A and B are shown apart, each in its own frame.
Chain A
């Protein structure tokens, strides 16, 4: 009986030695790694903020189909994409399907409308060497895009160019973390100023900016 148990005990011990670490890894992944990743992802999703510039640039006025169209631009994007993953490694939140819509309103009249869709925001791939990766993380922490807006040029008058106008905007994007993704959307109404940066007015605008 004793001799029969010895081989069984040997085999059992060897199996325990062999699979023990991997049982630990899978159990720890379930109880530590994945919850930690989920927690950090959720923190990153909550931390991210929208950004819309406080200045809208009037870039040009051109004739379109017998009318006058004014071209504007503003910058919009998301801030604080950077976050630390489950091992403390810096990552940048993936931003997909970024959608931005805005209307510039002055005294009840729509001055311009904007709509922008961006498939994906730039981010480091994770395959770069550290000396390339780390600056990319910093650079992509806050990402804003130049959004083009269009409106009827006849709606602009000297008052709208000097006084504040209201921009109603909505923004949505799909954020992807290490293991989770979340759709976030924001909307707001805020006062902005229009800056005429058409050629001839750029120097003046630059001086104002200073």
Chain B
């Protein structure tokens, strides 16, 4: 059974360049502040970046929700719901990095000291709990802002959409850190792998948050009072946000499409990763230091075999998954899916 969705790709792209895109850009602000800090080789301190490029855009976004009710589709309550959802993704992002530290010794909080010192303007040693605390808050703000951007950008939270967004983040991470951040200049393979893995967890968090909070709301409000009126979600809203009923009810992506789409996104990310790895490795003088963790050498560096070559099979695999995703692309109603199960 094939149905036309009321929510086409064209509509989505139009919205991205409209209010949703604007709001997403505003909430991307914490990462914009960090990017400017990095791109200027720390000449712009994070304190200035946080004030001008984070506080002001987010203040503007909050004011716009009052000025543009109804047109933007984003209300103060929407921001509140997204704000709570957005806490989960970066938490999972950090959780998966914990075993990587314990097993391989990859430190994922080394920059938090730098960020904290730059944010609060401390002098002397970087390695203080004050700097770590300030840097941790910066990190939380960046992860939260990224997740907010995603929820504001998309009308419906899907695992495929979350994966594509997280893969964009991965590439952004892969480019920014080795090129502009000194201590990440020659990262070993484990660093690249961890960046990808953590962003996959981030995507899972983006996708899972509406579900877990929807479930939690229903447990807290529905089970206790047995009355729907006490739910924070009004009629017409789903756990995926304040969607119109007709938009929310008849759209569910086939699980095979999702799976192949997610695999394709990962394959293309891998392709970009191999290219970037090649660029970074060949553009920098070889490091004589075992930077990071326990100094594991990058295993994809095989003499005579450039990492660019690995990009080719990754691209081929990506196109195969795109073909399979398109082949199984079907839009079926939620009820139809339940029947199929």
Interface residues of A (CB under 8 A from B): 3-4, 6-7, 10, 14, 17-18, 20-22, 24-26, 28-29, 33-34, 37, 84, 86-90, 126-131, 133-134, 176, 178-180
Per-residue contact bits, chain B 40-53, to A (CB 8 Å; 1 contact, 0 not): 01110000000000
Cβ of A127: which chain B residues have Cβ within 8 Å of it? 41-43, 182
Q: Distance (Å) between the CB of B290 and the closest chain A CB?
A: 5
A14 to B87 alpha-carbon distance, docked (Å): 10
Interface residues of B (CB under 8 A from A): 41-43, 87-88, 91-92, 94-95, 97-98, 101, 107, 109-110, 112, 125-127, 129, 132, 136, 180, 182-183, 185-186, 216, 219-220, 223-224, 284-285, 287-293, 295
Does A130 contact B289, Cβ atoms closer than 8 Å? no
Does A87 contact B293, Cβ atoms closer than 8 Å? yes
Does B127 contact A20, Cβ atoms closer than 8 Å? no
The A interface is mostly helix, strand or loop, or mixed, namely: helix
A17 to B291 alpha-carbon distance, docked (Å): 30
Q: A17-B88, A87-B291, A179-B125 are known; give 4 further A-B pairs, CB within 8 A.
A: A21-B95, A86-B110, A131-B285, A179-B127
A34 to B125 alpha-carbon distance, docked (Å): 12
Q: A88-B289, A88-B290 are in contact. Are A10 and B91 (CB under 8 A)?
A: no
A26 to B136 alpha-carbon distance, docked (Å): 10
Does A88 contact B292, Cβ atoms closer than 8 Å? yes
A87 to B182 alpha-carbon distance, docked (Å): 12
Q: Distance (Å) between the CB of A35 and the closest chain B CB?
A: 11
Does B295 contact A25, Cβ atoms closer than 8 Å? no
Report which of B127, B180, B224 forms a contact with A34, defined as CB distance below 8 A.
Answer: B127
Does B132 contact A25, Cβ atoms closer than 8 Å? yes
Q: A26-B132, A29-B132, A90-B289 are in contact. Are A20 and B224 (CB under 8 A)?
A: no
Report which of B112, B126, B220 forms a contact with A6, defined as CB distance below 8 A.
Answer: B220
Report which of A26, A88, A129 forms a contact with B185, defined as CB distance below 8 A.
Answer: A129
Q: A10-B216, A129-B185 are in contact. Are A24 and B98 (CB under 8 A)?
A: yes
Does B182 contact A128, Cβ atoms closer than 8 Å? yes
Does B91 contact A17, Cβ atoms closer than 8 Å? yes
Does A130 contact B101, Cβ atoms closer than 8 Å? no
Which 8 A-B residue pairings sit nearest by Cβ, starting from the closest? Answer: A130-B185, A21-B94, A179-B127, A7-B220, A25-B109, A127-B42, A10-B216, A179-B125
